[in-house]
């Protein structure tokens, strides 16, 4: 009885220790995996900030969001499970196996016979499920893309009565995810039965052979009981190991997708010894060619040679798709040239510090956005230290001051996400004001007054000449009237410069310009 008491107490102590350490390891694992996920998200987000426009072109927004959320969560779960059991399970397995072998080697050999069968089963599951998971994640990307596009464009969807079509699109991708998910999970769920049947086969064989050994007095009943206890332990640890494998299958696809973002090389980076000051606002294009795909055959700008003096106002006219936006995006290094070079202030743009060049060359993008926040906050993007007076001045030039004042809350009016509560023309004027407030050396407006009425447009152009002297201005426009008074006008056609000159010169010498002018004049007179 003494021995029984003594062993009973020992087992109780072991159980309590198991409980305490189990709780501790659970809480450490939770902390570690949550922290790991946070670090991953943080690094991915910081990496995204370093991406150039062409890096961004490569990944879809929806895919980036899935990677930052679902994929990180998969990896986090796998990581937590693995650190909880990856050490425990093999140790349990080894101890139980050793115990069984020391009791009866012949009985223990049963396990060695069954183990390879089990491993082959697991391997087959792994091989089948992995590609299905990879495929499923791509489809989840697509579903997110469908949802995102739909929600963003819900007004257009409604006005074109496309709800049914959109629902169909969504249902089809959603069904396809379900099918893949069923396939993958079904394969993974084979795992349990394989484990169970292997272990019960082992039990059956042990009972059979063990019973004979006991009858023949080669083994005691106690030893057989212990055999069963350890067999259960082996079962338990094998279940854990297979759980790790399942987790690896799911998370490997996610991990690869995360790595894709982390390993993407930002293709526009700071030079070795960056120049910190832009001398003036002159711009020189020297034999510049540019292609989005880095494929020299598919250039959308070809052999551009162009010299703009500091302080000059230059208009740019050309059909849609002729390369106007592409041309000006090269100046603040949103993209890098494919061949040739661009100088600002006499220095190659690639030699400047990225922040310096972008601070000095401000561009009002064609597809511009306002962020949710007050008008004041949005304007301060350009210049955090701007005073109210400076802000008002900038808004006056951009013809935004009067409509801002007409809002009940004036400059503190809240702009909704994507600027849905201001009109297209108002949004454009706010974006122009934001750019002016930055007081750059070069200001580029890419079709920034397309939604503004002709009269207001003329006032904005006039404001530019009077109030912002010394600033080089590049104005891309559809209307001749927006650029008529510029010092020089550039006509772009199919990626080449077709003519440069003043309004009068181009009227006399450039067919494309004259055609555009006449069609617009005729439209106006009618
Ligand atoms: N991000 C991009 N990736 C690939 N091709 C692009 C991209 N942006 C524009 N393009 C292509 O480059 C050409 C010139 O476009 P763009 O400079 O935007 O013309 P514009 O501003 O004169 O209307 C077009 O043929 C367009 O399809
Ligand atoms: Mg454009």
Q: Dihedral of CA 317/320/326/328: which sign?
A: positive
The per-residue pLDDT for range 101-135, each reduced to its tens digit, is 898 888 888 888 888 888 888 888 888 888 888 89
- Atom 5, ligand 1: residue with shortest CA distance: 292
What is the CA(490)–ligand 2 centre distance, in A? 14
Mapped onto helix, strand or coil, the DSSP state of residue 339 is strand
Q: Which of 204, 233, 263 is the last residue of a domain?
A: 263
> C-alpha distances in angstroms, 426 versus 103, 371, 404?
85, 14, 9
The strands making up 283-290's β-sheet, listed across from edge to edge, are 301-308, 283-290, 339-344, 347-348
pLDDT of residue 525: 58
Ligand 1 contact, 330 CB (< 6 A): no
> C-alpha distances in angstroms, 353 versus 332, 347, 360, 364, 440?
11, 12, 11, 21, 15
CA–chain centroid gap for 224, Å, is: 59
The per-residue pLDDT for range 457-470, each reduced to its tens digit, is 888 888 887 777 78
Percent of the chain exceeding pLDDT 90 equals 41
Please check whether residues 301 and 173 belong to one and the same domain. no
pLDDT of residue 179: 94
Please check whether residues 215 and 294 belong to one and the same domain. no
Identify which of 97-101, 129-133, 203-207, 324-328 has the greatest average pLDDT. 324-328
What is the CA(291)–ligand 1 centre distance, in A? 9
Please check whether residues 238 and 317 belong to one and the same domain. no
CA-to-CA distance for 318 and 477, rounded, in angstroms? Answer: 8
pLDDT of residue 324: 93
Q: Compute the CA torsion angle 119, 122, 123, 129 (nearest 10 deg).
A: 180
pLDDT of residue 361: 93
The set of residues, in sequence order, having a beta carbon less than 8 Å from that of 227 and lying 6+ positions away, is 100, 103, 104, 107, 206, 210
Ligand 1 contact, 300 CB (< 6 A): yes
Closest by CA to 471, choosing from 314, 333, 346, 354, is 314
Please check whether residues 236 and 319 belong to one and the same domain. no
What is the CA(149)–ligand 1 centre distance, in A? 21
Query: Which pairs with CB-CB distance under 8 Å and at least 24 residues apart come from 179-187?
Result: 180/132, 180/135, 180/136, 180/139, 181/136, 183/132, 184/129, 184/132, 184/133, 184/136, 187/125, 187/128, 187/129, 187/132
User: Which uninterrupted H or E stretch holds 269?
Assistant: none
Ligand 1 contact, 163 CB (< 6 A): no
Atom of ligand 1 nearest to the CA of 293: 4
Tell me which of 300, 316, 496 to substitute to probe ligand 1's pocket, judged by most ligand atoms within 8 Å of the beta carbon. 300
- Atom 20, ligand 1: residue with shortest CA distance: 321
Q: Range of 36's domain?
A: 23-263
Please check whether residues 291 and 258 belong to one and the same domain. no
Q: Is residue 80 part of a domain?
A: yes
Atom of ligand 1 nearest to the CA of 492: 22
pLDDT of residue 309: 93
Confidence of residue 524 (pLDDT cuts 50, 70, 90): low
CA-to-CA distance for 213 and 106, rounded, in angstroms? Answer: 11
pLDDT of residue 20: 96
What is the CA(35)–ligand 2 centre distance, in A? 43
Please check whether residues 175 and 293 belong to one and the same domain. no
The mean pLDDT value of the chain amounts to: 89
Ligand 1 contact, 345 CB (< 6 A): no
What is the CA(367)–ligand 1 centre distance, in A? 12
Please check whether residues 241 and 293 belong to one and the same domain. no
Give the CATH number of the domain where residue 70 resides. Answer: 1.20.1560.10
- Atom 14, ligand 1: residue with shortest CA distance: 323
How many structural domains is the chain composed of?
Answer: 2
In this structure, are residues 364 and 444 in contact, taking their beta carbons and an 8 Å threshold? yes
Atom of ligand 1 nearest to the CA of 320: 23
């Amino acid at each position: 009885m003494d021995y029984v008491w003594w062993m009973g107490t020992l087992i109780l102590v072991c159980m309590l220790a198991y409980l305490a350490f189990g709780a501790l390891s659970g809480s450490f694992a939770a902390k570690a995996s949550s922290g790991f996920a946070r670090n991953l998200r943080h690094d991915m987000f910081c990496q995204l900030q370093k991406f150039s426009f062409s890096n961004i072109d490569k990944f879809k927004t929806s895919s980036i969001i899935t990677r930052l959320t679902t994929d990180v969560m998969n990896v986090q779960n796998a990581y937590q499970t693995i650190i909880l059991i990856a050490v425990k399970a093999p140790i349990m397995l080894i101890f139980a196996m050793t115990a069984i072998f020391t009791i009866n080697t012949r009985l223990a050999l049963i396990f060695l016979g069954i183990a390879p069968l089990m491993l082959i089963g697991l391997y087959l599951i792994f091989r089948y499920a992995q590609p299905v998971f990879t495929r499923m994640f791509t489809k989840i990307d697509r579903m997110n893309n469908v949802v995102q596009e739909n929600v963003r464009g819900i007004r257009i969807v409604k006005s074109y009565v496309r709800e049914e079509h959109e629902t169909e699109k969504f249902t089809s991708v959603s069904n396809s995810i379900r099918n893949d998910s069923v396939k993958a999970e079904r394969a993974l769920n084979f795992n349990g039965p394989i484990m169970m049947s292997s272990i019960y086969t082992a039990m059956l064989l042990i009972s059979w052979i063990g019973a004979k050994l006991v009858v023949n007095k080669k083994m005691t009943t106690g030893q057989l009981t212990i055999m069963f206890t350890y067999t259960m332990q082996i079962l338990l640890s094998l279940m854990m190991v297979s759980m790790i494998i399942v987790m690896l299958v799911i998370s490997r696809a996610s991990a690869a997708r995360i790595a894709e973002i982390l390993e993407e090389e930002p293709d526009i980076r700071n030079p070795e010894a960056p120049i910190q000051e832009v001398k003036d606002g002159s711009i020189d294009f020297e034999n510049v060619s540019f292609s989005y795909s880095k494929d020299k055959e598919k250039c959308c700008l070809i052999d551009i040679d162009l010299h703009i003096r500091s302080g000059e106002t230059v208009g740019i006219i050309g059909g849609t798709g002729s390369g106007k936006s592409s041309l000006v995006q090269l100046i603040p290094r949103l993209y890098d040239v494919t061949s040739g070079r661009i100088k600002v202030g006499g220095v190659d743009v690639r030699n400047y510090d990225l922040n310096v060049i972008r601070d000095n060359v401000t561009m009002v993008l064609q597809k511009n956005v306002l962020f949710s926040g007050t008008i004041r906050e949005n304007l301060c993007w350009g210049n955090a230290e701007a005073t109210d007076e400076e802000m008002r001045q900038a808004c006056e030039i951009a013809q935004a001051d009067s409509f801002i004042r007409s809002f009940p809350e004036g400059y503190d009016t809240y702009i909704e996400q994507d600027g849905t509560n201001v009109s297209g023309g108002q949004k454009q004027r706010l974006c122009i004001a934001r750019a002016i407030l930055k007081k750059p050396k070069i200001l580029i407006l890419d079709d920034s007054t397309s939604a503004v009425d002709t009269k207001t447009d003329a006032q904005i152009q006039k404001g530019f000449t009077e109030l912002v002297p010394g600033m080089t201005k590049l104005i891309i426009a559809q209307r001749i009237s927006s650029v008529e008074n510029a010092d020089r006008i550039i006509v772009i056609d199919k990626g080449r410069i077709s003519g440069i000159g003043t309004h009068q010169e181009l009227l006399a010498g450039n067919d494309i310009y004259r055609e555009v002018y006449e069609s617009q004049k005729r439209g106006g007179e009618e």
